[in-house]
Amino acid sequence: MSILKDKNILLGITAGIAAYKSASLVRLFIKAGANVKVVMTPASKDFITPLTLSTLSKNPVYSSFVEEDLSANRQDEVNPVWNNHVDLGLWADLFVIAPATANTLAKMANGVCDNILLATYLSAKCPVYFAPAMDLDMYKHQSTKITLKKLKSFDNKMIPVGTGELASGLVGEGRMAEPEDIISYIEKDILDQLPLRGKKVLVTAGPTYEALDPVRFIGNHSSGKMGFEIANAAANLGAEVFLITGPTQEQTQNSSVKIFHVTSAEEMYNEVHNHFKTIDIGILSAAVADYKPKNVASQKIKKKDETFTIQLEKTKDILKSLGEIKSNQFLVGFALETNNEVENAKGKLKAKNLDLIVLNSLQDKGAGFGGSTNKVTFIMSSGEMIENELKSKTKVAEDLMQQILKQLHA
């Protein structure tokens, strides 16, 4: 899954021959899962039509401050419609100007505002990327060098030009980067700025099933949703995530999350220990069985007696075993409690050598297994406690990752 998924991308198109590549760029953004709107300079419509771009982006294309609306009852009535450049700038998560001609770049650098694209640029609060497109001598000109330097000083990000045959017939620098290269550049730039870039995070999720016989097991009601949300939240911050999950219907499309499926507590213990030495953060949110049948029948147990006794034995305490061997890892546990919640959670935090424990109580409506919400309290090894209101599990996961980052950088 691309880091651009669900991003609002505003594509600015200026009057260069490379505008024909903009159609492919829109399609690649859409393929990456982004939402795309297009804003054009009036002259750029000589190179590519708004109809093409609106069809590909599935959104209206903006090329002037005012559009004529002929939807009135009388066909000779014209109702002007204002295209709000401020709203466009606020909508965008990223503003990508490709192609960016020497003319438009000079105007951007000097605050000239004579079309809707430039007005939107001056209003935008999001990161701005631009892909220059011009002839060799224009690109080499001292005024262009000054323009590019000035734009970079505004924290605008220049996508490097390509080298090759130009529209004039000259060969050299000045070609707009290919659409695939523009996408790759933006994705890499975003990823490189993420706070967990280069870090490895281990997450456990779901229940474990402890076999009684070939068809029956002891388990619990954990859906695994909380763990999957944590894995996605960590991946969205740039981490490489190892998600070890018990039986669940949950799925993720995030390419930065590697999933390892297990069934029993013993299998989860072994898989966790296979990865623990190489990871930076461990978040154990799985609802691992505390006990398992001491003897597992090789054949299906028949119903014949009025009562049936199962002898259970303790499973290995995965979280405690990691607390005993951790070196530089930041270790997080979960505590689902029904009474003496804070006292019990603090006891687990200390006994298992954790850096943070996430407490949620079955006494809280909307918390616990199966649902899409949770109400948690973060308890740190320092003794600090942060009690959160009822939130979606997605938001709880994001809050947890931010709390971990805060402690790592304290």
Distance CA 375, CA 399 (A): 12
| Residue 353 CA: distances (Å) to CA of 68, 284, 323, 331, 405 | 68, 13, 5, 8, 19
| Virtual torsion, Cα 345, 346, 352, 354, nearest 10 deg | 100
Sorted by sequence, the CB contacts under 8 Å of residue 322 that are 6+ apart come out as: 272, 273, 276, 282, 284, 329, 331, 352
**239 forms bridges with which residues in the sheet?**
none
Which pair of structure tokens corresponds to residue 74? Answer: 């009388």
Of these residues, 84, 103, 220, 344, which one is catalytic? 220
Active-site annotation holds for 328: no
Which pair of structure tokens corresponds to residue 406? Answer: 């805060």
- b (16+ CB within 10 A) / e for 106-130: bbbbeeebebbbbbbbebbebbbbb
**203 forms bridges with which residues in the sheet?**
243, 283
Nearest alpha carbon to residue 385 among 377, 375, 396, 397: 377
Residue 338, burial from CB neighbour count under 10 angstroms (0-12, 13-18, 19+): exposed
Distance CA 183, CA 287 (A): 40
Distance CA 88, CA 223 (A): 40
Which pair of structure tokens corresponds to residue 376? Answer: 């948690």
Nearest alpha carbon to residue 331 among 319, 341, 342, 347: 319
For 251-265, the DSSP string reads: ----TTEEEEE--SH
Nearest alpha carbon to residue 397 among 223, 228, 195: 228
* Residues 22, 183 contacting (CB under 8 angstroms): no
- Catalytic site positions: 220
